[in-house]
Amino acid sequence: MIVVARLCGLIMLMLSSLATAVAAPAPERRVALVIGNSSYRHAPALPNTVNDARDMVVALRRVGFEVVDGVDLDKRGMDSALTRFARLAQDADAAMFYYAGHGFQFNGENYLVPVEARVEDEVGVQYETTRLNDVVTALSYAKGVKIMVLDACRNNPFVGLLAKRQATRGFSVGSGLAPVQRAQGMVIAYATQANDVAADGAGRNSPFTAALVREIAQPGLEVAALFRRVQKSVYDETSGKQTPELSLSLLGDFYLNREETDADVWGRIRASDEPAALKDFIQRYPASFFTIDARTRLDLIERRSQELGERDRLAREFADRERALIERLERAEQGRRQAADDLARKDNSAAPTAAAVAPAPAPVPGRAPSLAIAPTARQPRAEDKAERARLADELARRETELAAIETEKRRLAEERQTVEQAMAARLGLVALPQIDRSAMPNAPVVETARPHPEPRPAPASAQAKARLAAECAELLVRAQLGDLTAAAREQLQSCR
């Protein structure tokens, strides 16, 4: 039985591990091969292709690609890089090939040119260049999206090279690159259309690669939209002289940059009260349409934070003043009670006692009877009267002091209420927190001989207006912060 129980436990553990593995899919695998050939030995050198390749490597690694890269590769170097890429591409979710350098079409087939290639005849074409179909074969090992980007001339450069030795990516002779066969499930982007030349550009990069690197940095662009934006950018930059061409046969959407877009991020943080999140959004997306909203919300939050800080400062100030007032009130009440007790004892000690007649002693034979009169109470002395007057004055002074403190207490309460209403009207804040009476002694209830009338309340209409103004101010701030419920929106309509 023990063996069976252990076996069952082992099976359950294996099933649990399998379920966990199924529930947590492996991250998407993305691989790329990037080649930039510039220093040709038997063809014109290309000034920007190395920069183009290096910048593309950085851009692709930033969006999650594992990149095999090489610059100024000879035939053996290109074949080695292609072999490594084909192995990595097996079962990859996305595979991409980028090439910047010379390329041409011969007898309907496309070829990429290593830096040492000498293309003088058909034999040189067959054995000194790299077939583009070999790249298509390597891409086909991937199970997912396949992308091929060719920033190369669309003409046969060697025809013109033999004739003119012109250092350019394109020549006026030739028929350009041929359409790529077996392109199902592929995206193929050419730097320019057939029979046109692709410009190197005057800056660090060619116009095509510069636009492509820039668009890859934009998150949330579907690949077709991304290359359409590249097309427009190159067309505008070259004044219509160069128009990239796109061949797309994908069955679904694909995103090179899977990072959140500014709209995605804003939708997630738009209700946030964290200034750090809003500042990060403004820094990451300075040109975003939502940056104005982020700055507005950040300003409101900072203003509210300042008001809350001022509100807390006032709350502490009023708490200290009320605490000091309560202590004074307690001391004054103790003094009044002491004065009242002293006066009562004085009055009791000075009260007259009733005269009492002593009983006559038994008559003595032979003597005349006599009466015994009890001594009367002691008459109050002048100093006793003065002491009683002093005690009465002390009691009256204590009662006056208590009355003054009560008046000050009411005045402080009125001041506190005024400040609370002003703060509420400014940013719709709640009233200042009341003092925790459980943490301090209760204020004594003072009963003085002179009752003081309570302050008259403000008219009901004025109180209602003040309360309505505070509520509307709070609703307005919440509306600007995007925190309103449906019921609150209806209430805000009545404020307007």
Q: In this structure, what token pair is assigned to residue 368?
A: 């005349």
Place of tokens 């510039």: 38
> What is the average per-residue pLDDT within 6-11?
62
Report which residue type is found at 326.
Answer: I
Distance (Å, rounded) from C-alpha 336 to C-alpha 342?
A: 10
- Spatial CB neighbours of 451, under 8 Å, sequence gap ≥ 6: none
Place of tokens 């400014």: 426
SS3 state at 394: helix
Nearest alpha carbon to residue 416 among 315, 308, 304: 315
Place of tokens 């192995």: 87
Name the pTM for this structure: 0.57
Beta strands 66-71; 30-36: pairing state:
parallel
Nearest alpha carbon to residue 198 among 217, 187, 185, 211: 211
Q: In this structure, what token pair is assigned to residue 444?
A: 């004594």
What's the CA angle centered on 410, arms 407 and 412, to 5 degrees?
110
Q: Is the dihedral of CA 464, 465, 467, 471 positive or negative?
A: positive
Q: Is the dihedral of CA 257, 258, 261, 266 positive or negative?
A: negative
Q: Which of 59-68, 236-245, 471-480 has the lowest mean pLDDT?
A: 471-480
Q: In this structure, what token pair is assigned to residue 90?
A: 């097996």
Phi, psi dihedrals of residue 142, rounded to the nearest 5°: -75, 145
Q: Is the dihedral of CA 206, 212, 215, 219 positive or negative?
A: negative
Phi, psi dihedrals of residue 189, rounded to the nearest 5°: -120, 125
Question: pLDDT grade, residue 157 (50/70/90)?
Answer: low
Report whether 423 contacts 307 (CB < 8 A).
Answer: yes
Distances, alpha carbon 140 to alpha carbons 27, 112, 406, 463, in Å: 20, 18, 91, 78
Question: pLDDT grade, residue 11 (50/70/90)?
Answer: low
- Count the helix, strand and coil residues of the chain and give each as a percent rounded to the nearest 5: 50, 10, 40
pLDDT at residue 109 in the model: 85
- Spatial CB neighbours of 289, under 8 Å, sequence gap ≥ 6: 262
Distance (Å, rounded) from C-alpha 207 to C-alpha 214?
A: 11
Distance (Å, rounded) from C-alpha 342 to C-alpha 346?
A: 6
Ordered strands of the 130-131 beta sheet: 103-106, 109-112, 130-131
Question: pLDDT grade, residue 439 (50/70/90)?
Answer: very low
Ordered strands of the 66-71 beta sheet: 66-71, 30-36, 94-101, 145-152, 186-190, 245-248
> What is the average per-residue pLDDT within 417-421?
80
Nearest alpha carbon to residue 77 among 40, 151, 130: 130
Beta strand extents in 19-58 (DSSP E only): 30-36
Distance (Å, rounded) from C-alpha 466 to C-alpha 357?
A: 78
Q: Which of 4-13, 142-151, 210-219, 400-409 has the lowest mean pLDDT?
A: 4-13
Q: Which residues pair with 100 in a beta bridge?
A: 36, 151
pLDDT at residue 404 in the model: 85
Distance (Å, rounded) from C-alpha 137 to C-alpha 366?
A: 164
How does the average pLDDT of the chain come out, rounded?
Answer: 77
Question: pLDDT grade, residue 264 (50/70/90)?
Answer: confident
pLDDT at residue 273 in the model: 85
- Cα-to-chain-centroid distance, residue 477: 19
pLDDT at residue 332 in the model: 80
Q: Which of 46-50, 206-210, 321-325, 481-485 has the lowest mean pLDDT?
A: 481-485
**Higher-pLDDT residue of 25, 85:** 85
pLDDT digits (tens, 9 = 90+) for 279-329: 998 998 888 888 999 998 888 888 888 877 877 888 888 888 888 888 888
Distance (Å, rounded) from C-alpha 245 to C-alpha 227?
A: 9
DSSP H or E segment with residue 402: helix 382-427
